[in-house]
Amino acid sequence: MKKILTTAGLFLTIQLQAGNVVPSDKFSHVYAGLGIYAGCFLIKGVGEALHFNMDYLNAKTCVIPVIAAGVGKEVYDSQHTQTHTPEILDAVSTIALPLAIGFSIDF
C-alpha cells in the first residue's frame, strides 16, 4: 500500500510540475485508468468479504480491464470521428500507470 501511495504522490507531483506541457486530457485518461484499476481491487475486496474465491484477481490481472477500457475507448472514438478524436496516446495514458503498478508491486 505504501508503494501505491508513493506512486500516486509522485504522479501528482509530476502533474503539478508539468503544467501546460502535458495536456490535461492525458491526465484525465490516467485517472480513469487508475479508477478502473482501483475498482478491480474493490471488487476483489467485496468478493472476499462475501467469501468468494477471488484469488484470480491480483495486481497483474487487474490491468486487463484497464487495457480493455483504454483500447475500447479509442476504437469507439475511431468509429465516431464526427464527435471524437482517436489518439493512441490516450490509450497509452490510460494503461501506463496501472501497468507500471501491476508489474512492479507484488501482493
pLDDT value of residue 69 = 97
Per the CB < 8 A criterion, the answer to whether 62 and 98 are in contact is yes
pLDDT value of residue 34 = 94
Per the CB < 8 A criterion, the answer to whether 71 and 89 are in contact is no
Closest Cα to residue 36, out of 72, 14, 67, 13?
Answer: 67
User: What is this structure's pTM?
Assistant: 0.78
Positions of the chain with pLDDT under 70: 1-22, 107
The domain locations on the chain are 2-102
Torsion sign across C-alpha atoms 61, 99, 41, 43: negative
Give the tens place of pLDDT for each residue, 39-62.
Answer: 999 999 999 999 999 999 999 999
